[in-house]
Homo-oligomer: A and B are copies of this chain.
Amino acid sequence: MLTNIKTPKVYDQVIEEIKNKIKNGEIKKGDKLPSEREMAESLGVSRTSVREALRALEVIGLVESRQGAGNYIRTNFNNSLFEPLSIMFMLQESSPKEMYDLRETLELQCAKLSAKNIEDNELELLTAILDRMYVAESEEESLELDIKFHYLLAKTSRNVLLINVVEVISQLMDEFIKKSRMQILHEGNTRENLLDIHENLVRALKCRDELKVSSAMKEHFDLIRKAYGY
């Protein structure tokens, strides 16, 4: 092995230290971290190694370094934090079936929660996306709107964990939506079938009826499932 395994270990220790302090309630979002010197002493490692680990956490967007004031846990995490992971998900060489199973379960749960939690202005936004789907002039435009539709729907679940998970797999999700649209159209379905499915979802959401929304979402995934022959 040519890899240097010393540094990742210090990084893991620093991460572990931060995690424990969060668990114990010592650190919250926006709070200051112990100084590099303190961390180095408590972990029994060099300050350089601690600094390097903190620098990596800063680059990926978990930690914010304020000049002369020390290191802080960011208040707002940016997308950078998700990116390395979304790359890892892309590289997993997962099958479309695996993505189907993950997406189905996440979106069905989102839809159920959305039935309860969606707000009027979000219903209007979804309707506006649907209206634009009807007049879209290319598959590229339809795809873009389809993707927007599903992220907005996830957001209206109001479950921050579900939303974040969908965000983490967004890279794969976009690809999957693209490919399943192609597969659905290839299997003899029309653009109208795809529009109906989304129309039904919006109608069910307008009733704020969990069962109707679930069944509309199941219909959506049945269309994908059949197109792939699962």
Contact = CB atoms under 8 A, between A and B. Distances in A.
A72 to B, nearest CB: 10
A172 B132 CA distance: 39
21 contacts: A3-B64, A3-B65, A8-B61, A15-B83, A19-B171, A23-B175, A28-B91, A29-B93, A56-B56, A62-B84, A81-B85, A85-B168, A88-B164, A89-B161, A92-B164, A98-B159, A101-B161, A101-B162, A102-B109, A102-B162, A102-B165
A55 interface: yes
Contacts of A168: 85, 165, 168
Contacts of A160: 92, 94, 98
Given A11-B80, A22-B87, 7 more contacts: A7-B58, A8-B80, A15-B84, A52-B55, A85-B168, A102-B109, A102-B162
A11 B66 CA distance: 18
B65 A159 contact: no
A110 to B, nearest CB: 9
A82 interface: yes
Interface of A: 2-4, 7-8, 11-12, 15, 18-19, 22-23, 28-29, 52-53, 55-62, 64-67, 69, 73, 77-78, 80-94, 98-99, 101-102, 104-106, 108-109, 113, 159-162, 164-165, 168-169, 171-172, 175
Contact of A161 (B57, B83, B99): B99
A115 B23 CA distance: 35
A109 B101 contact: yes
Contacts of A12: 80, 83
Contacts of A161: 89, 92, 94, 98-99, 101-102, 169, 172
A18 B77 contact: no
A94 B8 CA distance: 29
A3 B81 CA distance: 16
